């Protein structure tokens, strides 16, 4: 189908669903941790090392993919990286070897790293500067995260870790969605996104971009740290079993669905910087509730934490792209990938503290991180949009554009 036959709404829907299929595998790694602990008797530190393996290599190579997409349009990365990301997680439970498990999970991280810069660049072009449309694209990833615990639990129920090859199914679906979306966008339109970014008249504001990235790192450590251990922590604090732990992880991920959509709409009304600042401020109280409030009320604070962490999620992406108008791929790779996955580097430290003391003690320092992020964000100003910097929308498509008052694509 040509670009003129594919509306931006349809393309955003396809990209969002493809994003969901990819980010299933980011959420699946954390969802597998309790099963590695129960079936292989891994310590907290050893189990969190698997989360680190998924994050560390991804964090290193993600900016490289971003720089490559700044130079060349590489839409083929979307279906290929989707398959690689899924295959790594699918084989994580096949071998009892810890080293092999780390290796295949690291391969999955590379696939995820390759996907995000190019997909964010293409989505920004299709969205034509709409915060809401980018929110829907980000929502897809959040829903992938949210469904990962349920998907992993269902697969593990069929045969434990040895059933993990069944986890390849979302990757196959994601490949098909990516191919359909790229046919709608068209190669010329995809290439134009990179070409227009290279003509941006604004200068790259590295100082603001680095402050934004620092705030996202703080968010990442909180989110990944809770993602790795909230299932085990909920079992302790509520006295429940596997179901209570899976429910806690599901709430942590699903709350992001509400937060991401709300973030795009709030930014349209109030501006991106104020919305991001208030989100980080409110997250401080929500994380404190997760750490200190026992019983079923814990789930309320998990939901509030999730919403607070995700309201600014899509806004991080567009702010980063606007701070670096000449390096859209690099900005996308950092804001959507590097600073998201880098939180996994802190997971082994959290696990080591938990082994030495308790999970509650290990999670308590996470309360301070949204405060640090808020302080960094208080020094930022609203940047000129990339569309204004280029003097034209980031797409060659002719159909009716997605607007900030659009409904679900």
71 vs 78: which has the higher pLDDT: 78
Q: Rounded to a whole number, what is the distance in angstroms from the first to the last CA of the chain? A: 18
Burial of 326 (0-12, 13-18, 19+ CB in 10 A): middle
Report long-range pairs for 37-45 (Cβ below 8 Å, ≥24 apart).
Answer: 37/232, 39/160, 39/161, 40/96, 40/98, 40/161, 42/98, 43/351, 43/355, 44/229, 44/232, 44/351, 44/352, 44/354, 44/355, 44/359, 45/348, 45/351, 45/352, 45/355
Query: Which pLDDT belongs to residue 90?
Result: 92
Mean of pLDDT values over 163-183: 92
Q: What does pTM read for this prediction?
A: 0.70
Here the tokens at position 405 are 């008052």
74 in a domain, yes or no?
yes
125 in a domain, yes or no?
yes
Query: Which pLDDT belongs to residue 1?
Result: 40
104 in a domain, yes or no?
yes
Mean pLDDT for all residues in the chain: 81
Mean of pLDDT values over 288-295: 90
Domains in the chain: how many in total?
1
- State whether residue 74 is helix, strand or coil: coil
Query: Which pLDDT belongs to residue 5?
Result: 45
Best mean pLDDT range from 158-162, 187-191, 392-396: 158-162
Question: How far is Cα 157 from Cα 298, in angstroms, rounded to an integer?
Answer: 26
With a cut of 50, say whether residue 409 has pLDDT above it: no
Question: CB–CB of 53/106 below 8 Å?
Answer: yes
CATH number of the domain that residue 207 is part of = 1.20.1250.20
With a cut of 90, say whether residue 286 has pLDDT above it: yes
At residue 396 the predicted structure's pLDDT band, cuts being 50, 70 and 90, is very low
8-22 pLDDT, tens digit per residue, is 788 888 999 999 999
With a cut of 80, say whether residue 93 has pLDDT above it: yes
321-350 pLDDT, tens digit per residue, is 889 888 877 887 788 766 666 776 777 788
Specify the range with the lowest mean pLDDT, choosing from 203-217, 328-342, 349-363.
328-342
399 in a domain, yes or no?
no
At residue 207 the predicted structure's pLDDT band, cuts being 50, 70 and 90, is very high
Best mean pLDDT range from 24-38, 197-211, 253-267, 360-374: 360-374
352 vs 171: which has the higher pLDDT: 171
406 in a domain, yes or no?
no
17-50 pLDDT, tens digit per residue, is 999 999 899 888 878 888 888 888 788 778 878 8
Question: How far is Cα 52 from Cα 348, in angstroms, rounded to an integer?
Answer: 7
Query: Which pLDDT belongs to residue 250?
Result: 82
What percentage of the chain carries pLDDT values higher than 90? Answer: 29
With a cut of 60, say whether residue 181 has pLDDT above it: yes
Mean of pLDDT values over 230-255: 82
262 vs 89: which has the higher pLDDT: 89
Query: Where do runs of H (alpha helix) occur along 41-164?
Result: 44-71, 77-90, 98-127, 131-159
Best mean pLDDT range from 133-137, 173-177, 203-207: 173-177
Q: What range defines the domain where residue 279 resides?
A: 3-390
Query: Which pLDDT belongs to residue 48?
Result: 77
400 in a domain, yes or no?
no
Here the tokens at position 151 are 């998907």
214 in a domain, yes or no?
yes
408 in a domain, yes or no?
no
Mean of pLDDT values over 195-212: 74
Percentages helix, strand, coil for the chain, rounded to the nearest 5? Answer: 80, 0, 20
The count of residues in the chain is 409
């Amino acid at each position: 189908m040509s670009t003129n036959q594919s509306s931006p709404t349809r393309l955003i829907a396809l990209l969002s669903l493809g994003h969901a299929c990819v980010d299933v595998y980011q959420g699946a790694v954390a969802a597998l941790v309790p099963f590695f602990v129960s079936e292989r008797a891994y310590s907290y530190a050893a189990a969190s090392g698997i989360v680190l393996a998924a994050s560390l290599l991804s964090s290193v190579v993600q900016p490289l993919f971003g720089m490559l997409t700044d130079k060349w349009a590489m839409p083929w990365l979307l279906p290929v990286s989707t398959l690689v990301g899924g295959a790594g997680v699918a084989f994580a439970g096949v071998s009892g070897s810890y080293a092999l498990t780390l290796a295949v999970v690291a391969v999955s991280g590379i696939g995820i790293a390759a996907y995000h810069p190019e997909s964010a660049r293409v989505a920004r072009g299709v969205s034509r500067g709409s915060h809401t449309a980018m929110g829907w694209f980000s929502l897809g990833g959040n829903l992938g995260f949210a469904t990962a615990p349920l998907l992993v639990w269902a697969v593990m129920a069929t045969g434990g870790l040895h059933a993990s090859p069944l986890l390849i199914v979302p990757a196959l679906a994601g490949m098909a969605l990516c191919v359909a979306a790229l046919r709608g966008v068209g190669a010329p339109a995809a290439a134009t996104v990179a070409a227009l970014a290279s003509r941006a008249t604004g200068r790259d504001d590295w100082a603001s971009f680095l402050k934004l990235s620092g705030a996202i790192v703080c968010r990442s450590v909180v989110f990944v740290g809770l993602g790795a251990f909230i299932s085990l922590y909920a079992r302790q604090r509520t006295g429940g079993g596997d179901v209570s732990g899976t429910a806690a992880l599901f709430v942590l991920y699903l709350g992001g669905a509400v937060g991401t959509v709300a973030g795009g709409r709030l930014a349209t009304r109030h501006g991106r910087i104020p919305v991001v600042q208030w989100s980080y401020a409110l997250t401080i109280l929500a994380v404190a509730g997760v750490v200190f409030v026992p019983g079923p009320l814990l789930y309320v604070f998990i939901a509030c934490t999730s919403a607070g962490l995700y309201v600014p999620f899509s806004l991080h992406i567009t702010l980063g792209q606007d701070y670096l108008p000449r390096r859209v791929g690099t900005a996308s790779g950092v804001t959507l990938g590097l600073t998201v996955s880098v939180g996994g580097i802190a997971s082994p430290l959290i696990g080591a503290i938990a082994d030495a003391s308790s999970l509650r003690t290990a999670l308590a320092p996470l309360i301070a991180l949204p405060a640090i992020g808020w302080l960094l964000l208080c020094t930022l100003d609203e940047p000129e949009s990339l569309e204004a910097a280029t003097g034209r929308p980031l797409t060659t498509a002719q159909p009716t554009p997605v607007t900030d008052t659009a409904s679900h694509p």
